[in-house]
Amino acid sequence: MKFKSMLLSLAVVGMLFASCDDSKKKEAEAKAEAEKMEMEAKMAAEKAEEEAKMAKMEMEKNSIAGIAMGNENFSTLVTALKTAELAQTFMEEGEYTVFAPTNDAFAKVPQATLDNLMKPENKEQLQNLLKYHVVSGEWKADAVVKAIQENNNKYNVTTLQGENLVLSLSGDKVMVKDAKGGTATVVMADVDASNGVIHAIDKVVMPKN
């Protein structure tokens, strides 16, 4: 009888050890699974972050400012944007239509006037001038022409600076009239950007203020 009791006790102890080992095994497996899931989540987050970073770089490269930086005909404009601390603004998401003066357009502005605008103390004035060349929203050439035709060849657009530009047609050319009565001609239209469109003009348009 005692022998049977001892055997029974040993069997119970064995079962307890087996149960304990089984619990530890399951605990280890659960821990390993949790660590695996955590690692996978971390890798997925890192991948998503890298993809977002690459997408942002691509967007900035193809942005209005990015395209201007890659085109030698807009080097003066790029310098002005950087001096006015607006380059980053036109690299970010949004929808803009920019009537962008070429280097030849800036060459028509007296050098003394340009030099004065580029001074740090005149940054706000330079910002206003550059924003006067920008309209909110994306206006492709066909939409601009249609708007002009539907408004008796005189279509007013409000710029980011706050004052208006008057768009009209002269033959097949789009003309841009500023607040001081000066007129620029669109010499290259529909340069697509990730955050809008660029229309190159042959003159710097001037606001009243």
* DSSP-assigned states of every residue in 120-133: GGGHHHHHHHHHTT
The range of the structural domain enclosing residue 191 comes to 62-201
Q: What is the pLDDT of residue 1?
A: 55
Give the residue with greater pLDDT, 64 vs 38: 64
Residue 131 forms part of a structural domain: yes
Quickly state the pLDDT bin for 46 (edges 50, 70, 90). confident
CB 178 within 8 A of CB 204: no
Q: Among 35-44, 112-121, 154-163, 173-182, name the one with the lowest average pLDDT.
A: 35-44
Q: 3-state DSSP helix/strand/coil percent for the chain, to nearest 5? A: 55, 20, 25
H-type alpha helices, 62-190: 64-69, 75-83, 103-107, 111-117, 123-131, 141-149
pTM of the model: 0.74
Q: Return the amino acid letter for 33.
A: E
**Does residue 158 sit within a domain?**
yes
CA pair distance 206, 101, nearest whole angstrom: 11
Q: Which residue has the tokens 């239209």?
A: 189
Provide the pairing of β-strand 196-201 with 96-101: parallel
Residue 50 lies in a domain: no
Residue 2 has pLDDT above 70, yes or no: no
Domain count, the chain: 1
pLDDT computed for residue 4 by the predictor: 54
Q: pLDDT digit string (tens) for 61-84?
A: 889 999 999 999 999 999 999 999
Give per-residue burial for 59-96: e unless 16+ CB within 10 Å, then b.
bbeebbbbbbbebebbebbbebbebbebbebbbeeeeb
Residue 5 lies in a domain: no
Kindly state whether residue 116 falls inside one of the protein's structural domains. Answer: yes
The neighbour count for residue 125, using CB atoms within 10 Å, is 15
CATH number for the domain including 158? 2.30.180.10
Q: Which of 9-23, 59-73, 188-202 has the lowest mean pLDDT?
A: 9-23
Q: What is the pLDDT of residues 89-131, one digit of tens each?
A: 999 888 999 999 999 999 999 999 999 999 999 999 999 999 9
